[in-house]
Every structure is written in structure tokens, then in C-alpha cells.
């Protein structure tokens, strides 16, 4: 048994007062969870402390919360580990090395109903419904179930592991800036159906998500959702898969997200590193310095992006003006440029996903199946709830 102090952000709407912090002393074995600590405080000190939970085993997705600023599940976080993290964070900023309080808050990016209970409907479930989370097959329904080869489902097992806890939504930085962003959980769910061989509306789904200004190109690759997800869904990876598939389907998005992404890929292939002087032109009017003429839209986009580019130079985010002049960009030393080209060639020849965030090699489904079936990767296996959802 060890003693801990948990500091909980309370909000009691019936009191009419603003949110406040309250500390509780709890006594638990370090291997028990933060949720156990909260339930002990509720039991011993204040029965009005509101926390949502059910399974207490990281299955139902009810107990999403922020612990020491990190979104996750209360029932999956051991209180001993939470204490270690609280001490580490405090000592990193010059505080005491031990005995710090464990800070517990409701999830972010959603309205708080009471204490640690948030309104999942307005920010999570509404967005999940936005992506049409059911199969849309065409043609006559088979007499019995749709039969698919296990290999063809491998690509989506990771997204099927989602338990809808909302931890990724809570931690999403893009959603903080743009509450209309469809968000990591809903986009991971979208990939679950885009990648399903039984679904017949892949192109429509991708077009919808690419054309939405708050869709797949609204993600800023901050990795927060990957860190927060308790089930290894890695929502950002699923968003990158959606983007790749949209590109493969030749979907032109009005946000120029795909062409901007391709600009990075093409410039680095040619120059080895990012030549920012070419970024605007390659994003909106590839080939303008060669034979092709820019379209009216490309010219409009380039002119419209100039204030952003100037702001980037002023704040130091982009390189200084002289270095932005085409031709001034330095080439990589020695044979490094050839090595970059060799990486591209290898990726093309081996059909690898050329994306930093997506691991794996396409075209080897058997190896992928074996890897996903390893006991260590059991989180990727579909749960009962996923199977139900996959049936429609
Ligand atoms: S990677 Fe994208 S979806 Fe994930 S938290 Fe960051 S901005 Fe949100
Ligand atoms: S993707 Fe992960 S963090 Fe997001 S809702 Fe699903 S299980 Fe929770
Ligand atoms: S109580 Fe079910 S996931 Fe935590």
C-alpha cells in the first residue's frame, strides 16, 4: 500500500459556480489504477465526485480523462506510474523530485457535464456519424453473410481496435484550433470502411473527406492522438492512409492538400532536402518553370499564399529571403543525393508505402497477417464490438 494525493478538477453545474480543484488523499497498491483511486475518494470522501466507468479493464472506453496532462484511460493507468510521471514533470521544471500530486482533469475538446464526465455526443459521436460508419455495399445482398478472405481485412484491423474512448479527440491539437475538424477518432473509423473490401463507395467516401475543409487535410501530424490512444489504433496513421488512397484515386481536393504533399515528395526526390523556394510553385502549379503554364486556380492559390509565406520568413519558420531564390539551394554533399534517389527507387520497386508514419510493406499480406496475429499485437485484433459494427 502507498499513499497518493490526487488533485481533481471539479465542476458541479448545480452549484452555479466555476470549476475548481480539490485534493483527495488515497491509499492504494501502486499497481492499481488511477480510476481505483478516484473510486476510493468517491467512496470515502465525497460521493458527489462524478466519474464515468464500467468495465475497469480498458475495454468499454468509458473512463477517458487527462492524467498529468496526458489523455488516456483512468482504468489503464497505474497510480504508481502516474505518480512517477507527476514527479518527473515537476522535477523537470525545478520542482520537488517526489511526493507531487497526481493531476486529473476531464477530457479536452469537449464540454464538461460534471467533474470528469464530458459530453461525448457533441464532439465525438456526432463526428463518428458524420463519416457514415457502416458498410455501403452495392448489388444484391448475399443470402447469408458477406464472405471475405482474412488477408483482405488485415489493413483495417488496426482501426477496428478502437473502443471509442475519445482520448485521441481530447488530445487533438488541430481540433483545439478548429473544432469543426472531423478529428482522429472519426477519421480512423472512416478508414475502417474505406479499407473494407465489402464497401462499394470508397471513392465517394474519399472525395467527401478530401473536399471537406475540415477533413483529412486538416490534420497537422502532431502525433498527439498516437500517444493518447490506449489501443494502438494510431489515428494519425489511418488519416495518412486515407490521404494516400485519395491521391491514388486521383481526387483533386480544393484545399490543395494532396498537391502540397506531393510537392514535398517531388522536391526532396530531386534535391535531397526541401528547397523552400520551389514549395509554393510545386504545390500549386507543378512544372511552371518547365513547359507547363499555371492554371488560373494555381495562380490564385500562389498569390493567396504569399502572406503566409511572408509571415513564415518573418517568424523564422521559413528560411531567409536570399535562400528562397530558386537556384541558391545547396545540393547535398558527396553522393548523398544519389542515396536519396536510391531510397525512392527502392520504395517504388518494393511497393513500400513511402510515408514516414506508416510502417509495413504492401504486397506481403501473409507476413502482415502473421505479424498482427502475434500475441504482442493482440490490441490490433478486432473486438466483439468491432465485429458487430462491421456487420453494419
Ligand atoms: S496527428 Fe492529426 S488527428 Fe492526430 S492529434 Fe495531431 S492533428 Fe489531431
Ligand atoms: S482511436 Fe484510440 S483514442 Fe481514439 S477513440 Fe479509438 S481507442 Fe480511443
Ligand atoms: S472503465 Fe472501461 S475502459 Fe476504463
**Which residues pair with residue 20 across a beta bridge?**
10
Query: What pLDDT score does 119 carry?
Result: 96
Residues 6+ away with beta carbon under 8 Å from 277: 323, 324, 325, 326, 327, 328, 329
- Looking up cell 481533481 gives 8
Q: Which of 87, 114, 141 is the last residue of a domain?
A: 114
Among 32-36, 37-41, 344-348, which is the least confidently predicted range?
Answer: 344-348
Query: What pLDDT score does 35 carry?
Result: 98
pLDDT band at 233 (very low <50, low <70, confident <90, very high): very high
- Residue at 318 is within a domain: no
Query: What pLDDT score does 106 carry?
Result: 98
- 17 with 87, same domain: the answer is yes
Query: What pLDDT score does 315 carry?
Result: 78
- 100 with 149, same domain: the answer is no
Atom of ligand 3 nearest to the CA of 60: 2
- For ligand 2, atom 8, the nearest C-alpha belongs to 165
Between CA 228 and CA 54 the distance in angstroms is 20
User: pLDDT higher for 354 or 10?
Assistant: 10
Q: How many domains does the chain have?
A: 2
- Residue at 346 is within a domain: no
Instruction: Please report which ligand is nearest the Cα atom of 59.
Output: 3
User: pLDDT higher for 277 or 168?
Assistant: 168
Q: Over 60: is that where the pLDDT of 389 sits?
A: no
- Residue at 262 is within a domain: no
User: pLDDT higher for 392 or 122?
Assistant: 122
- 15 with 82, same domain: the answer is yes
Q: Over 80: is that where the pLDDT of 2 sits?
A: yes
Alpha carbon of 86 to ligand 3 centroid (Å): 22
Identify whether the C-beta of residue 106 lies closer than 8 Å to the C-beta of residue 71: no
Check pocket membership of 183 for ligand 2, CB cut-off 6 A. Answer: no
Q: What is the pLDDT of residues 160-215, one digit of tens each?
A: 999 999 999 999 999 999 999 999 999 999 999 999 999 999 999 999 999 999 99
Q: Over 80: is that where the pLDDT of 289 sits?
A: no
Selection from 111, 198, 194, 124 nearest residue 159 by Cα: 194
Q: What is the pLDDT of residues 336-353, one digit of tens each?
A: 888 888 888 888 887 665
Give the DSSP letter string of 236-251.
Answer: HHHHHHHHHHHHHTT-
The pair phi, psi for residue 301, each rounded to 5°, is -65, -40
Give the DSSP letter string of 223-290.
Answer: -HHHHH-TTS--HHHHHHHHHHHHHHTT---TT-HHHHHHHHHHHHHHHSS--GGGHHHHHHSTTTTT
- 90 with 142, same domain: the answer is no
- Residue at 129 is within a domain: yes
At 304, list the grid cell: 493567396
Between CA 211 and CA 263 the distance in angstroms is 19
Alpha carbon of 331 to ligand 3 centroid (Å): 53
Q: Which of 108, 131, 173, 189 to mutate to test the pocket of ligand 1 (most atoms within 8 A of CB)?
A: 173
Alpha carbon of 50 to ligand 3 centroid (Å): 15
Looking at residue 16, which CATH number applies to its domain? 3.10.20.30
Alpha carbon of 184 to ligand 2 centroid (Å): 8
Buried b (16+ CB within 10 A) or exposed e, 316-339: eebbeeeebeeeebeeeeeeebee
- 246 with 368, same domain: the answer is yes
Among 104-113, 160-169, 307-316, which is the least confidently predicted range?
Answer: 307-316
- 51 with 109, same domain: the answer is yes
Alpha carbon of 132 to ligand 1 centroid (Å): 20
Q: Which of 73, 133, 156, 164 to mutate to test the pocket of ligand 2 (most atoms within 8 A of CB)?
A: 164
- 202 with 244, same domain: the answer is yes
Alpha carbon of 106 to ligand 3 centroid (Å): 14
Looking at residue 250, which CATH number applies to its domain? 1.10.1060.10
User: pLDDT higher for 295 or 326?
Assistant: 295
Atom of ligand 1 nearest to the CA of 224: 5
- Residue at 190 is within a domain: yes
Mean pLDDT of 218-241: 95
Query: What pLDDT score does 215 carry?
Result: 95
Q: Which of 63, 88, 114 is the last residue of a domain?
A: 114
Q: Which of 177, 179, 219, 241 to mutate to test the pocket of ligand 1 (most atoms within 8 A of CB)?
A: 219
- Residue at 320 is within a domain: no
Identify whether the C-beta of residue 173 lies closer than 8 Å to the C-beta of residue 108: no
| C-alpha 286: how far from chain center | 29
Where helices occur in the chain by DSSP H, the ranges are 34-44, 79-92, 120, 126-130, 154-160, 167-171, 173-177, 184-194, 202-211, 224-228, 235-248, 257-271, 279-284, 296-315, 336-349, 365-373, 384-390
Mean pLDDT of 125-130: 97
- Residue at 265 is within a domain: no
311: exposed, middle or buried (Cβ count in 10 Å: 0-12, 13-18, 19+)? exposed
pLDDT band at 390 (very low <50, low <70, confident <90, very high): very low
Mean pLDDT of 76-82: 97
Query: What pLDDT score does 293 carry?
Result: 64
Check pocket membership of 83 for ligand 1, CB cut-off 6 A. Answer: no
What is the biggest distance separating any 2 CA atoms in the chain, rounded to whole angstroms? 76
Selection from 178, 177, 35 nearest residue 116 by Cα: 35
pLDDT band at 76 (very low <50, low <70, confident <90, very high): very high
Atom of ligand 2 nearest to the CA of 225: 3
Check pocket membership of 163 for ligand 2, CB cut-off 6 A. Answer: yes
- Mean pLDDT across the chain, nearest whole number? 85
Check pocket membership of 229 for ligand 2, CB cut-off 6 A. Answer: yes
Q: Which of 167, 170, 182, 224 to mutate to test the pocket of ligand 2 (most atoms within 8 A of CB)?
A: 167
- 104 with 138, same domain: the answer is no
Selection from 74, 79, 118 nearest residue 102 by Cα: 79
Q: What is the pLDDT of residues 355-384, one digit of tens each?
A: 444 444 444 545 544 554 454 444 434 343
- 243 with 370, same domain: the answer is yes
User: pLDDT higher for 355 or 308?
Assistant: 308
Alpha carbon of 53 to ligand 3 centroid (Å): 5
pLDDT band at 263 (very low <50, low <70, confident <90, very high): confident
Domain range enclosing 26: 2-114
- 40 with 58, same domain: the answer is yes
**Which residues pair with residue 2 across a beta bridge?**
28
- 15 with 39, same domain: the answer is yes
- Residue at 84 is within a domain: yes
Mean pLDDT of 268-288: 76
Alpha carbon of 82 to ligand 1 centroid (Å): 24
At 158, list the grid cell: 488496426
Q: Which of 223, 228, 241 to mutate to test the pocket of ligand 1 (most atoms within 8 A of CB)?
A: 223
Selection from 147, 222, 151 nearest residue 181 by Cα: 222
Residues 6+ away with beta carbon under 8 Å from 193: 131, 132, 133, 134, 135, 136, 199, 205
Q: Which of 93, 114, 135 is the last residue of a domain?
A: 114
117's enclosing H/E stretch is strand 117-118
Give the DSSP letter string of 307-323.
Answer: HHHHHHHHHTSSPPGGG
Pairing of strands 102-105, 64-67: antiparallel
- 183 with 201, same domain: the answer is yes
The pair phi, psi for residue 105, each rounded to 5°, is -130, 160
pTM: 0.80
Alpha carbon of 52 to ligand 3 centroid (Å): 8
Amino acid at each position: 500500500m502507498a499513499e497518493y494525493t490526487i488533485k481533481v478538477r471539479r465542476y458541479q453545474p448545480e452549484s452555479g459556480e466555476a470549476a475548481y480543484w480539490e485534493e483527495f488523499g488515497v491509499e492504494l497498491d501502486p499497481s492499481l489504477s488511477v480510476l481505483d483511486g478516484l473510486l476510493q475518494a468517491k467512496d470515502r470522501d465525497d460521493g458527489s465526485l462524478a466519474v464515468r466507468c464500467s468495465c475497469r479493464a480498458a475495454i468499454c472506453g468509458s473512463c477517458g480523462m487527462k492524467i498529468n496532462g496526458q489523455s488516456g484511460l483512468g482504468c489503464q493507468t497505474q497510480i504508481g506510474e502516474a505518480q512517477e510521471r507527476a514527479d518527473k514533470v515537476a522535477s523537470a521544471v525545478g520542482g520537488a523530485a517526489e511526493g507531487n500530486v497526481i493531476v486529473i482533469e476531464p477530457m479536452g475538446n469537449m464540454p464538461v457535464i460534471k467533474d470528469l464526465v464530458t459530453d461525448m455526443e457533441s464532439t465525438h459521436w456526432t463526428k463518428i456519424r458524420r463519416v457514415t460508419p457502416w458498410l455501403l455495399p452495392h448489388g444484391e445482398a448475399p443470402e447469408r453473410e458477406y464472405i471475405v478472405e482474412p488477408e483482405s481485412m488485415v489493413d483495417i484491423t488496426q482501426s477496428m481496435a478502437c473502443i471509442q474512448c475519445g482520448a485521441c479527440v481530447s488530445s487533438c491539437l488541430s481540433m483545439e484550433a478548429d473544432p469543426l475538424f472531423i478529428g482522429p477518432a472519426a477519421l480512423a473509423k472512416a478508414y475502417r470502411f474505406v479499407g473494407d473490401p465489402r464497401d462499394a463507395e470508397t471513392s465517394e467516401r474519399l472525395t467527401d473527406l478530401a473536399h471537406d475543409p475540415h477533413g483529412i487535410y486538416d490534420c497537422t501530424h502532431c502525433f498527439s492522438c498516437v500517444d493518447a490512444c490506449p489501443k494502438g489504433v494510431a489515428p494519425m496513421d489511418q488519416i495518412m492512409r486515407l490521404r494516400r488512397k485519395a491521391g491514388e484515386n486521383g481526387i483533386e481536393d480544393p484545399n490543395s492538400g494532396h498537391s502540397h504533399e506531393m510537392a514535398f515528395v517531388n522536391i526532396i526526390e530531386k534535391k535531397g532536402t526541401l528547397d523552400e523556394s520551389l514549395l509554393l510553385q510545386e504545390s500549386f502549379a507543378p512544372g511552371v518553370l518547365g513547359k507547363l503554364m499555371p492554371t488560373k486556380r494555381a495562380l490564385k492559390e500562389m498569390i493567396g499564399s504569399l502572406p503566409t509565406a511572408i509571415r513564415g520568413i518573418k517568424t523564422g519558420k521559413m528560411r531567409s529571403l536570399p535562400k528562397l531564390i530558386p537556384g541558391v539551394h545547396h545540393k547535398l554533399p558527396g553522393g548523398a543525393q544519389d542515396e536519396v534517389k536510391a531510397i525512392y527507387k527502392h520504395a517504388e520497386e518494393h511497393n513500400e508505402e513511402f510515408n514516414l508514419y506508416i510502417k509495413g510493406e504492401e504486397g506481403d499480406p501473409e507476413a502482415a497477417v502473421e505479424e498482427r496475429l502475434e500475441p504482442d499485437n493482440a490490441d490490433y485484433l478486432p473486438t466483439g464490438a468491432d465485429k458487430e459494427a462491421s456487420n453494419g
